[in-house]
Structure 1
Amino acid sequence: MKLAILGYGKMGKTVEEIASSRNHEIVYITSDELDIDQLKKADVAIDFSIPEAAFTNVTSCLEHKVSIVSGTTGWLNQYEEAVEVCKSESGRFLYASNFSIGVNVFFELNSHLAKMMSGLKEYKVKLKEIHHLEKKDAPSGTAISLADQIINESNYQTWNHPPQNDKFSIGIEAEREEGVFGFHDVIYDSGIDTISISHNAKSRKGFAHGAVIAAEWILKQDKGVYSMKDVLQLNSTT
């Protein structure tokens, strides 16, 4: 496939490495304002840019018939608008807060555990995430996805960062440490015991590999809006 990489930081460079190793042609790379003529050379674009650029990157691709896979977090207040653009332009759009195969399995475990714990009121749930110093948004998109999944399966109504003392909200702690690629912990705590599940990323390669897999996959699909759950054919046990 002919691939555009939007956002050429550490993730973008890792995407380039993985895509090249899978014999894909990189036709356009940018971290700046889009050159539409260059963008239109691509079959699909992978976006790991910054929150301020993500919506423009996604909608520009859709408006110019380039399929788009986005992993940029921190812009989801405009996600539904992007979905509407995808529908009106009959495009292909896939967003994921995390492309790691392991994290997407973790998402399924999280939903299942949340359903199991929903009736056990003696447990209070909280989330903790740790990322590298360069990560701009907090909490992470992955942590927000985990919280939203729990809300869908329980009586919790919202999440808060930093955590607040509210029985209907899920507190999210976010820390930034050098050299941490992504750690997420879901903790159910009571006066008697603690139950937790966690995921720890060892490198960026898992995220980049998943994004390239998603780009390969989306080109074979009908027009529409997709997620990594579609790519990996993960059927929730909840």
Structure 2
Amino acid sequence: MKLALLGYGKMGKTIERLAVEAGHEVVFIKDRANERGDLAEADVAIDFSTPEAAIENISRCIMDGIPIVSGTTGWLKDYDKVLNLCEERNGSFIYASNFSIGVNLFFGLNEYLAKQMSSWPMYDINIEEIHHTEKKDAPSGTAISLAEGIIKNTAKEAWQLDGQGDAVVPIHAKREEDVKGTHEITYSSEIDTISIKHEAHSRDGFAKGAILAAQWLQNKKGVFGMKDVLGIE
């Protein structure tokens, strides 16, 4: 598989290392204003850039007929524009707030627990996420996806950063040195506490998931997510 990397920070470099180790070839790299290689040679592009660059990167690939996988968060206000463009151009696109296989299994566990807890309103729900100090968006896209899974399966109506209120799922975002990503959902009452937690130990899990998604997307048309890639109901 010939890959284009759009964004060449820590994640981009990790993806390059693992892709090459797996026998793939990186034919194009875009890092801020610099470009190396030929995008047209790529079978699939992987975008881990910035919220400001993501729309341009994704749109460029769709317009050029190159399947694209994006893990950049913080740009989703324009998500419908990308969906419409992908439909118009018969493109191929996967977006995920997190490509880790473990996190995507965690999403399912989160929804199952929310369904079980929905009949017990005495429990207060909280989400806490911890990431490295260089992460630009807060809360994380993964935390937002977890909150949306809770909202879908309970009487909660919205999520809010450090929010309060019976209808709100509060998300607390912390930034600490060299944290790869930790997410914890807690249900607390006066009697007891129930919690589930996912903690990433390295970026390799995210990178391997993105490479797996890129392999899966080849020769497919449409808009997909990691549930499609992993066959999760």
Bin for the TM-score computed over the shorter chain: over 0.9
Match of 2:119 in 1: 119
1:196-207 correspondence to structure 2 within 5 Å: 196-207=195-206
Q: Give yes or no for contact 1:71–1:98 (8 Å, CA) kept in 2.
A: yes
| Mapped partners of 1:27, 1:165: distance in 2 | 48
| Mapped partners of 1:192, 1:52: distance in 2 | 46
For 1:62-105, what per-residue CA distance to the aligned partner results, in whole angstroms no more than 9, with x for missing partners? 00000000000011111111111111110100000000000000
| Shift in Å, 1:36 | 11
Letter in 1 for 2:131: H
Match of 1:216 in 2: 215
| Mapped partners of 2:195, 2:96: distance in 1 | 23
Q: What is the identity percentage for the equivalent residue pairs of Structure 1 and Structure 2?
A: 53
Q: Is structure 2 residue 59 aligned with structure 1 residue 59?
A: yes
Letter in 1 for 2:68: I
Question: How many residues were matched structurally?
Answer: 233
Q: Give yes or no for contact 2:28–2:37 (8 Å, CA) kept in 1.
A: no
Match of 2:224 in 1: 226
Letter in 2 for 1:179: D
For 1:163-204, what per-residue CA distance to the aligned partner results, in whole angstroms no more than 9, with x for missing partners? 222110111000011111000000111111111000000000
Gaps of 5+ in 2: none
Normalising by structure 1, we get a TM-score of 0.95
Between 28-37 and 103-112, report the one with greater CA deviation. 28-37
Normalising by structure 2, we get a TM-score of 0.97
Match of 1:69 in 2: 69
Q: Give yes or no for contact 1:7–1:30 (8 Å, CA) kept in 2.
A: yes
| Mapped partners of 2:94, 2:34: distance in 1 | 19
Secondary structure (helix, strand or coil) at the match of 2:38 reads: helix
Q: Give yes or no for contact 1:34–1:57 (8 Å, CA) kept in 2.
A: no
| Mapped partners of 1:152, 1:9: distance in 2 | 34
| Mapped partners of 1:102, 1:123: distance in 2 | 26
| Mapped partners of 2:59, 2:36: distance in 1 | 12
